[in-house]
């Protein structure tokens, strides 16, 4: 049931705009292409406002008003999600597509025991008996390694630590064997120790259930260890997409390198990749990154670069990418 | 020379509402900070970092212990708000919004601490312009409201407000955790620059261990209200000797798939809540090395090297483990190679 060449999710040329009175429409996504295979976890990295959440919402057909999908297609297991009606989409969303977001406490119902919350999802979406749903829920609590799961089944969210609550949210997301998982900044509030545990778990479960996963984060370090592929988004455009190894061996796009530079504690090197005077203002017509780019040349402000291949499976949107020899 | 700040045996208990139990938030913490030095306090959520900071500032009263700032005890009317100390000790919050009033322009917010000190209008304006320049705040920002600024610029303004009085000590409570990595790096550079220029000492409270490695002189690792290890930053990251420090440092992810997490020590389960703590070592319930003595007796800090203290009966077993490589240093070298080519 997946796409013709095995992609579970196939986003092509997706445009999303937010119209505003008296001003030009703000295009939050400008022709995004993205494919994810079953069992694959792809990391989507970009700074605040780059369009990550908008992409997640557009995939689910839930762009908030006044935003509109202006162009493009989202194929999920061969079906066009943007063309589905509300009801059909809800049925798909609950069962086959799961979203994990931060702040697990806000996600969970404060007056319902956590085991029951997992069980309810199984009961409504899997069509099993109450008893069977409870059994599945208990298995899930075990799978996400909640200590003492029998007792924790009856616990209320406020009785759990943040890390445990986040694991319950993952259990809820994965209990119906979704085929697509979207995690939007879901681990950023956790301690490093808990974060590693939660990510290990997400990775294992995603592999086991062969779910395609879009892992959204502002922290490029996470993707190095948990994602098979990585896509860098800047101002609504994917500027670099590659296998994780290939990316970290030689990032080509100046923005990708700037992101990596933020983790270096060598201020001199970092300064070389940061354009302090954002001269040139907002890019029109040319490369969106040009105002901040240290490699900018006249061509960059005149002509928009397209995504092109640098190596097998490694695409870059830049007129003057840093190449392997450099 | 005696330390500028000397904290001895600090204890803070919070009564647990509706019971006779107490939350043992801080359990006998001792450390010093010298002039111009950065001490980082690291540890997971709930370990007591913020509580330590608030006790030092006198925003809450310690249950027991001594806090000496510049030779004189803090508390009993001598706190961050009292006349004698005004402007000498300052605080920067995690959420820039907490240090900035949404209805007041940035320029006025920066000037406010000077107004309390009785600095006249002309001198205030001059200092505000100087500080803005130091902070890399564009002049127009002084006339703007917080909501009009990015999170990174807001935090810059928060830091500006804290340093405008040229304080001797600034307590930074998670100053970068609300920021993008790029903005975070800029704030870290700024803090280092300000310290070099004014000789300010920092107590840096943070989760962000990769920053800690490169900005601190010394690091104290807090677990359930106790300092389990304290050492110069480089020594700690190269060779942590407390099982908890090893577990904590090996969880940090660096942006390089080759630098995998080495976890010679696996900590079981999660941090318990600091209520009814058992008598022995706070880590005993999760530690792979724990024995009967660990469960009965509380380990005290032992000096294993100059300035390096560990509170663990079995630190020699940790030391005997296969070497833990300093991934942070390796990442510095590797990233330098990636970054040194191709810039414009
Ligand atoms: N409801 C909305 N109305 C108008 N503009 C919006 C709306 N939602 C998003 N945008 C705009 O779309 C762009 C992308 O926002 P989005 O929330 O997708 O970013 P993001 O990458 O998820 O950022 P963050 O890391 O902060 O979550 C931003 O410029 C934002 O201002
Ligand atoms: N006013 C209070 N009343 C009761 N308990 C408190 C109070 N303030 C803090 N605590 C408890 O004291 C312990 C230490 O809290 P503290 O905020 O100092 O931790 P922290 O290390 O700063 O954590 P974080 O990284 O989450 O900010 C926690 O268990 C907390 O719940
Ligand atoms: S196209 Fe030009 S401006 Fe854009 S990233 Fe490449 S070098 Fe920089
Ligand atoms: Mg978002
Ligand atoms: Mg805190």
Using DSSP's 3-state secondary structure scheme, residue A202 falls into helix
A290 contact partners, CB below 8 Å, separation of at least 6: A280, A283, A296, A300, A301
Ligand 1 environment, Cβ below 6 A: A 18, 26, 28, 46, 48-54, 64, 67, 218
* Boundaries of every domain in chain A: 9-96+176-317
Q: What per-residue confidence (pLDDT) applies to B136? A: 81
The number of C-beta contacts closer than 8 angstroms across A and B is 127
Angstroms from A128 CA to nearest CA on chain B: 32
Measured CA angle at A231 (ends A227, A236), to 5 deg: 145
Tokens at A219, concatenated: 């922290």
Which residue puts its alpha carbon closest to atom 28 of ligand 1?
Answer: A49
| A202 Cα–ligand 3 center, Å | 35
CB atoms within 10 A of CB B292: 9
Q: What per-residue confidence (pLDDT) applies to A85? A: 80
* pLDDT confidence bin for A290, thresholds 50/70/90: very high
Q: Are strands B201-206 and A237-243 parallel, antiparallel or unpaired?
A: unpaired
A312 contact partners, CB below 8 Å, separation of at least 6: none
Residues A203, A174: contact at Cβ < 8 Å?
no
Binary contact (B253, A222; C-beta < 8 A): yes
Strand order in the sheet with B64-69: B22-33, B5-15, B64-69, B72-73
Lowest mean pLDDT among B15-24, B27-36, B76-85, B119-128: B76-85
Q: What per-residue confidence (pLDDT) applies to B287? A: 92
> Looking at the structure, do residues B314 and B195 belong to the same domain, yes or no?
no
> Looking at the structure, do residues B52 and B142 belong to the same domain, yes or no?
yes
Measured CA angle at A259 (ends A257, A261), to 5 deg: 70
Binary contact (A265, B181; C-beta < 8 A): no
Identify the residue whose tokens are 């907490």.
Answer: B98
> Looking at the structure, do residues B129 and B59 belong to the same domain, yes or no?
yes
Return the residue in B133, B205, B257, B283 with the most chain A beta carbons within 10 A, the one to mutate for interface testing: B257
Ligand 1 atom at minimal distance to the Cα of residue A46: 21
Q: pLDDT averaged over chain A?
A: 87
Number of domains in chain B: 2
> Looking at the structure, do residues B200 and B314 belong to the same domain, yes or no?
no
Which residue puts its alpha carbon closest to atom 11 of ligand 2?
Answer: B25
Q: Is A305 in the pocket of ligand 3 (CB under 6 A)?
A: yes
Return the residue in B181, B269, B271, B340 with the most chain A beta carbons within 10 A, the one to mutate for interface testing: B181
Q: What per-residue confidence (pLDDT) applies to B324? A: 61
Binary contact (A264, B247; C-beta < 8 A): no
CB atoms within 10 A of CB B102: 8
Tokens at A162, concatenated: 């943040």
Burial of B322 (0-12, 13-18, 19+ CB in 10 A): exposed
Architecture of domain A9-96+176-317: 3-Layer(aba) Sandwich (3.40)
The CA distance from B73 to B249, in Å, is 35
Q: Is A319 in the pocket of ligand 3 (CB under 6 A)?
A: yes
> Looking at the structure, do residues B42 and B182 belong to the same domain, yes or no?
yes
**Structure letter (DSSP) for residue B199:** -
The H-or-E segment that residue B5 falls in is strand B5-15
When CB atoms are compared, the residue of A162, A196, A322 closest to B341 is A322
Does any domain span residue B227? Answer: no
The CA distance from A215 to A240, in Å, is 16
Segment B5-14, tens digit of pLDDT: 999 999 999 9
* Alpha helix (H) residue ranges in A190-277: 192-209, 220-226, 244-249, 254-261, 267-272
Q: Are strands A9-20 and A68-76 parallel, antiparallel or unpaired?
A: antiparallel
| CATH number, domain with residue B204 | 3.40.50.300
Measured CA angle at A221 (ends A261, B151), to 5 deg: 65
Residue B318 sits in which domain range? 242-343
| pTM of the complete model | 0.89
Q: Is B50 in the pocket of ligand 2 (CB under 6 A)?
A: yes
Q: What per-residue confidence (pLDDT) applies to A237? A: 97
The CA distance from B50 to B300, in Å, is 23
Ligand whose nearest atom lies closest to the CA of A289? 3
- What is the rounded end-to-end Cα distance, in angstroms, of chain A? 44
When CB atoms are compared, the residue of B151, B255, B260 closest to A263 is B255
A68 contact partners, CB below 8 Å, separation of at least 6: A16, A17, A19
The CA distance from B219 to B229, in Å, is 8
Q: What per-residue confidence (pLDDT) applies to A1? A: 44
The CA distance from A310 to A180, in Å, is 29
Measured CA angle at A310 (ends A255, B256), to 5 deg: 55
> Looking at the structure, do residues B253 and B211 belong to the same domain, yes or no?
no
The CA distance from A324 to A191, in Å, is 36
Using DSSP's 3-state secondary structure scheme, residue B59 falls into coil
> Looking at the structure, do residues B208 and B295 belong to the same domain, yes or no?
no
Q: What per-residue confidence (pLDDT) applies to A252? A: 95
Does any domain span residue B258? Answer: yes
Q: pLDDT averaged over chain B?
A: 88
The H-or-E segment that residue A69 falls in is strand A68-76
Does any domain span residue B224? Answer: no
Segment A130-182, tens digit of pLDDT: 999 999 999 989 888 787 889 899 999 888 877 788 889 888 888 888 899 99
Identify the residue whose tokens are 């930074």.
Answer: B172
Identify the residue whose tokens are 């290990």.
Answer: A200
Q: Nearest residue of A to residue B271 by CA position?
A: A161
Ligand whose nearest atom lies closest to the CA of A51? 1
B162 dihedral zone (left: phi>0; alpha: psi -120 to 50; beta): alpha
Question: What ipTM describes this predicted complex?
Answer: 0.84
Does any domain span residue B162? Answer: yes
Does any domain span residue B235? Answer: no
Ligand whose nearest atom lies closest to the CA of A275? 3
Does any domain span residue B229? Answer: no
Lowest mean pLDDT among A53-62, B74-83, B205-214, B215-224: B74-83
> Looking at the structure, do residues B205 and B262 belong to the same domain, yes or no?
no
Does any domain span residue B94? Answer: yes
CA-nearest of B196, B254, B225, B230 to B55 is B225
Long-range Cβ contacts of A10-13 (<8 Å, 24+ apart):
A10/A34, A10/A35, A10/A73, A10/A74, A10/A75, A10/A76, A11/A35, A11/A55, A11/A59, A11/A72, A11/A73, A11/A74, A11/A75, A12/A72, A12/A73, A12/A75, A13/A71, A13/A72, A13/A73
Q: Is the pLDDT confidence value at A281 over 70?
A: no
- What is the rounded end-to-end Cα distance, in angstroms, of chain B? 48
* Alpha helix (H) residue ranges in chain A: 52-59, 86-96, 104-107, 114-126, 130-143, 149-152, 162-174, 192-209, 220-226, 244-249, 254-261, 267-272, 298-302
CA-nearest of B195, B287, B274, B271 to B43 is B271
Candidate ranges A36-50, B125-139, B266-280, B315-329; pick with highest mean pLDDT? A36-50
Does any domain span residue B47? Answer: yes
Identify the residue whose tokens are 């006779």.
Answer: B20
Q: Give the distance between the most distant pair of CA atoms in chain A.
A: 68
Q: What per-residue confidence (pLDDT) applies to A324? A: 60
> Looking at the structure, do residues B51 and B178 belong to the same domain, yes or no?
yes
* pLDDT confidence bin for B338, thresholds 50/70/90: confident
Q: Is the pLDDT confidence value at B44 over 90?
A: no
Q: What per-residue confidence (pLDDT) applies to A326? A: 46
* pLDDT confidence bin for B262, thresholds 50/70/90: low
CB atoms within 10 A of CB A212: 25
Q: Is the pLDDT confidence value at A2 over 50?
A: no
Query: Which residue among A52, A101, A259 has the greatest number of ligand 1 atoms within 8 angstroms of its CB, and so is best to mutate?
Result: A52
């Amino acid at each position: 049931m997946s796409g013709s060449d095995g992609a579970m999710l196939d986003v092509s040329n997706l445009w999303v705009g937010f119209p505003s009175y008296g001003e030009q429409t703000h295009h939050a996504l400008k022709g995004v292409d993205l494919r994810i295979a079953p069992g694959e976890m792809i990391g989507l990295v970009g700074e605040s406002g780059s369009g990550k959440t908008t992409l997640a919402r557009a995939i689910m057909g839930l762009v908030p008003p006044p935003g509109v999908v202006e162009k493009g297609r989202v194929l999920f297991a061969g079906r066009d999600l943007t063309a589905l009606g509300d009801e059909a989409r809800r049925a798909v969303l609950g069962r086959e597509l799961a979203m994990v977001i931060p702040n697990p406490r806000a996600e969970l119902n404060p007056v319902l025991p956590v085991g029951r919350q997992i069980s309810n999802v199984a009961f409504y979406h899997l069509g099993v008996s109450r008893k069977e749903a409870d059994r599945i829920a208990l298995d899930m609590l075990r799978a996400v390694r909640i200590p003492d799961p029998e007792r924790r089944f009856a616990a209320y969210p406020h009785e759990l630590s943040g890390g445990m609550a986040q694991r319950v949210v993952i259990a809820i997301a994965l209990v119906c064997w979704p085929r697509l998982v979207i995690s939007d900044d879901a681990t950023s509030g956790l301690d490093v120790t808990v974060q590693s545990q939660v990510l290990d778990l997400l990775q294992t479960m995603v592999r086991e259930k062969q779910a395609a996963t879009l892992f959204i984060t502002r922290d490029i370090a996470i993707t190095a260890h948990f994602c098979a592929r990585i896509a860098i988004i800047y101002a609504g455009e994917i500027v670099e997409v590659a296998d994780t190894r290939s990316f970290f061996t030689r990032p080509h796009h100046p923005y990708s390198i700037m992101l990596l530079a933020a983790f270096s504690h060598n201020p001199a090197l970092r300064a070389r990749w940061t354009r302090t005077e954002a001269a040139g203002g907002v890019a029109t017509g040319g490369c969106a990154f040009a105002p901040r780019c240290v490699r900018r040349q006249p061509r960059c402000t005149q002509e928009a670069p397209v995504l092109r291949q640098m190596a097998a499976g490694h695409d870059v949107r830049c007129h003057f990418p840093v190449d392997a020899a450099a | 020379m005696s330390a500028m700040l000397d904290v001895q045996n600090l204890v803070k208990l919070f009564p647990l509402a509706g019971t006779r139990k107490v939350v043992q938030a801080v359990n006998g913490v001792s450390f010093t900070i010298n002039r111009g030095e950065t001490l980082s306090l690291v540890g997971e959520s709930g370990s007591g970092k913020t509580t330590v900071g608030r006790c030092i500032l006198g925003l809450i009263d310690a249950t027991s212990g001594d806090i000496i700032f510049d030779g004189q005890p803090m508390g009993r009317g001598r706190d961050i708000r009292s006349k004698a100390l005004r402007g000498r000790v300052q605080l920067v919050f995690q959420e820039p919004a907490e240090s900035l009033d949404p209805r007041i322009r940035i320029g006025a917010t920066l000037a406010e601490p000077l107004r309390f000190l009785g600095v006249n209008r002309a001198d205030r304006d001059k200092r505000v312009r100087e500080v803005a320049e130091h902070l890399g705040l564009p002049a127009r920002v002084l006339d703007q409201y917080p909501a009009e600024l990015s999170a990174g610029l807001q935090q810059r303004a928060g830091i500006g407000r804290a340093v405008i009085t040229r304080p001797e000590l600034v307590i930074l409570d998670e100053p970068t955790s609300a920021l993008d990595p790029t903005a975070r790096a800029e704030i870290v550079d700024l803090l280092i620059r300000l310290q070099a220029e004014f000789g300010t000492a920092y107590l840096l409270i943070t989760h962000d261990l990769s920053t800690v490695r490169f900005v601190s002189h010394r690091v104290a690792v807090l677990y359930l209200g106790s300092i389990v290890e304290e050492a110069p930053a480089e020594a700690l990251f190269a060779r942590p000797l407390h099982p908890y420090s090893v577990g904590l440092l090996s969880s940090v992810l660096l942006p390089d798939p080759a630098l995998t997490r080495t976890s010679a020590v696996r900590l079981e389960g999660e941090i318990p809540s600091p209520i009814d703590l058992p008598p022995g070592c706070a880590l005993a319930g999760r530690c792979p090395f724990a024995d009967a003595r660990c469960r009965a007796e509380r380990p005290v800090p032992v000096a294993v090297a100059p300035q390096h203290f560990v509170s663990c009966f079995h630190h020699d077993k940790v030391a005997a483990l296969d070497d833990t490589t300093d991934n942070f240093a390796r990442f510095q070298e590797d990233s330098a190679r990636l970054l040194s080519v191709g810039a414009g």
